[in-house]
Structure 1
């Protein structure tokens, strides 16, 4: 194939009648797209392998639903005694756990009468670790380590920490290791999504992105199955069953997955960029990867601009409209995150089988993803998010007010489904509200707000073991109130994407003047 270097013949009638040759250089994106646009089986295999990181990420995110659950118990003496209702008000000899004490950290370390802050501490510190890791590790995938190495390192550290967690001897050691695990997994989802989509052409990026969400759902769904098969066994076994395979997966990632060619080029690693692009490109497209092509890379390099999270944040804070958009979305994300992470953790407090209720919640993530995938072009962003937040809030509050258990689980499922759908829409809405130069940083901050909401969820769940409204009631009120902030944001359905701050501001002026920008 000839070297792609399109030429345009233009006639300048104002100066001369002779034709003038003007070279229109293809962009780096256009040239890479020409090479890897057709998704071959090797690209699909690598994208799928990368997306499986979401599977193990989901397991570690929700594993405390089972390991930190308060086991059921029964009175061993005078079972008809009406005083045998509060485990903390009767002697230790008068009651027993229904299962062996080692099935949960609550029973093994005798935390049944500890305060909600103590029992919810490990899960809260996990999300606090996610929050810290998101800030500290945010720029490494774009700067020194790259997408692949950051993903491998995060996955491996999360897995090894999980193995060490199984060796914990007390609550404080367990809590510290959960913090490290959350810190390590903070960038797994972002790195997996970015790397998998950068290895395929634009036509396939949406499909590849959905693979990651499906893998997260399957990982969440696998937890109740593993927990059911190991019921009666030590909670430590659940960590081993989920983390040991993840260690081997991390090693496979390192040897079988390639780095993003665009990142390699930006970092000036020409040989690796050339080798990776040639290996990904179809045989019929490799002829375009000539010395002339790589020579033009020098011209492209001058046009590329690197921005990290911190420089982009400075830009977001300087522009009042960007600051208000970001602040509003982070408030919405906080409310959605509290109910998204909190509801699965609180299932043990409902009068329903824990394994089935967790499985049903996990299954709901799949139709939520499919709903967004097929209807995203027709959904009004702001009012869809507002409606879902209000529906989730109303169902969550009603869930603790009714007494019929089948109605409770039904309302809980509706509330969780609405929260999951709102979560997906909030991320898409964030992509559309900000220009390319700050888009990645804006999404990162909104995701951090979602995780921040998850920090408070475990403590509320632990407190709700004595007062049910302190979990689902607070979740519902929070997501409904926070969802109201989306009403102050502009609608983005059908509008064009902008690349720079100036373009976004010009578009805002155009919209405010009533001109269609579609």
Structure 2
């Protein structure tokens, strides 16, 4: 057989393919959805359920507990309105008492600590996400693959979360939160890449929606668990969310199937054929020969070198990073800052999770199949950023209007977050897709690193958090003008194939 051809027999037909044939081969085999693909997509998205819980668990575990005045002779003591630091220890007490600490604030006496100390656990978590993503992002394209990286990330995150519940002080607690962040860094994007590479083009948005839906359901479940355990120690919350995550990690390792696209690119043709047989219509006696273009990319940083070497890829990556930074700063900040709005924290978290869930359904069932990526991202960044700036100026004096505008901003942030993750998957070929997508997501995490401190500052002046969120997202949104449109385009597998398709698209303009 010639060096530049590949032949596969699929359900009795012969397909002759050149160097751009992997998309055709996989589309022919798994283009039609079936129960196996649905089960595999759901299974790959379950870790996102626990990912969201560990990301937003600090809303409840690190919250300021309610308290009451105990000295009726002190007229300056007004429950939950006075400054605790201006009162003596005999003038007030926590509502939960001294035996049960519902938050790290009461257990470790952090009510008068500065913003740096109080926000250190949350900041440590997001710093861990940032560092972990930089270290682990290329492993999914190299020796680990999609499946093993997903299972490893989920397991490390959950084990560190379990250890967090046994922390003796805020310093050890911050270390475990850091390790949990390192573990979950590549989880969401690896799950998204794994899902999209194992179904046909027509079903990618729908199956990707499954993963995002699990993320919102995780927040809803977290809120429910936090409400049910609101009179228990904050350590119980970690126990209830980490143990199921550990079980999920082990289950995924034994039941998940690897991406056939990644196996093709590694030169592991027989293994890829086995996966295609399980996922689709490839018969047992079917033959497929992929040319020697397969890279056997086992070096952890080989894909990163390819991205840097190609000028168009580096430009695309840097532009996506700036865009994602602004979106990430606002997206995570809007969720983590629900306590700053003056509403019931459980109701606010529930509304936020439901709005997030609605955005996922709208994004993947309607928006992605029908709408332009660039114009959509630009529009959501402008509307979300502007609205956030406006209600940060209004402050808490117009509660109804503030809550309404906050929900609009959150919805736009969720839509932009969904779109940019899917957009990034479409911008880069298979050989570097996991690395590029992970690095772009790391830009979002970099934005979230600043959120805990901004949120604490925003308790005094909302401009310090929501104003900063809005301005950053507004200006970063204009970066989409430097990116190509990807709607309706097939996923490329090699850098050469991507270059050829881009040149052909430019020649038509």
Q: Structure 1-normalised TM-score?
A: 0.85
Secondary structure (helix, strand or coil) at the match of 2:93 reads strand
Give the structure 1 partner of residue 224 of structure 2: 225
Among 342, 352, 361, the alignment partner of 2:333 is 342
Map residues 366-405 of structure 1 onto 2, 5 A cutoff. 366-373=357-364, 374-402=366-394, 403-405=397-399
Secondary structure (helix, strand or coil) at the match of 1:217 reads helix
Structure 2 alignment gaps of length 5 or more: 1-7
Does 2:252 align with 1:258? no
Q: Distance in 2 between matches of 1:40 and 1:495?
A: 23
Change (3 A) 1:462 1:196: same
Mapped contact 2:363–2:419 kept (Cα < 8 A): yes
Q: Distance in 2 between matches of 1:316 and 1:150?
A: 20
Measured against aligned partners, the alpha-carbon deviations of 1:114-134 in whole angstroms (never above 9, x if no partner) come to: 111111111111111111111
Secondary structure (helix, strand or coil) at the match of 1:88 reads helix
Does 2:458 align with 1:464? yes
Does 2:442 align with 1:448? yes
Give the structure 2 partner of residue 16 of structure 1: none
Report the number of matched residues. Answer: 491
Larger RCO (alpha carbons 8 Å, 6+ apart): 2
1:44 Cα deviation after fit? 2.0
Q: Distance in 1 between matches of 2:482 and 2:85?
A: 48
Give the structure 2 partner of residue 133 of structure 1: 132
Mapped contact 1:35–1:286 kept (Cα < 8 A): no
Does 2:295 align with 1:305? yes
Does 2:236 align with 1:237? yes
Mapped contact 2:266–2:296 kept (Cα < 8 A): no
Structure 1 residues 159-168 or 67-76, which shifts more?
67-76
Does 2:49 align with 1:55? yes
Q: Distance in 1 between matches of 2:267 and 2:481?
A: 44
1:369 Cα deviation after fit? 1.9
Give the structure 2 partner of residue 91 of structure 1: 88
1:338 Cα deviation after fit? 1.0
Q: Structure 2-normalised TM-score?
A: 0.86
Q: Distance in 1 between matches of 2:13 and 2:321?
A: 45
Does 2:316 align with 1:332? no
1:306 Cα deviation after fit? 5.0
Structure 1 residues 270-279 or 329-338, which shifts more?
270-279
Change (3 A) 1:75 1:390: farther
Secondary structure (helix, strand or coil) at the match of 2:386 reads helix
Secondary structure (helix, strand or coil) at the match of 2:68 reads strand
Structure 1 alignment gaps of length 5 or more: 9-22
Give the structure 2 partner of residue 106 of structure 1: 105
Larger Cα-atom Rg: 1
Please give the root-mean-square deviation of Cα atoms over the aligned residues, in Å. 3.1
Change (3 A) 1:72 1:469: farther
Structure 1 residues 131-140 or 432-441, which shifts more?
432-441
Mapped contact 2:189–2:434 kept (Cα < 8 A): no
Measured against aligned partners, the alpha-carbon deviations of 1:240-266 in whole angstroms (never above 9, x if no partner) come to: 111111122222222322333444455
Map residues 497-516 of structure 1 onto 2, 5 A cutoff. 515-516=508-509
Map residues 3-402 of structure 1 onto 2, 5 A cutoff. 3-4=9-10, 27-78=21-72, 81-82=75-76, 84=78, 85-100=82-97, 102-264=101-263, 266-267=265-266, 272-273=271-272, 275-282=274-281, 285-289=282-286, 293=287, 296-297=288-289, 300-306=290-296, 310-318=301-309, 320-373=311-364, 374-402=366-394
Mapped contact 2:359–2:415 kept (Cα < 8 A): yes
Q: Distance in 2 between matches of 1:280 and 1:387?
A: 38
Change (3 A) 1:198 1:236: same
Change (3 A) 1:82 1:229: same
Does 2:451 align with 1:430? no
Mapped contact 2:23–2:492 kept (Cα < 8 A): no
Structure 1 residues 465-474 or 231-240, which shifts more?
465-474
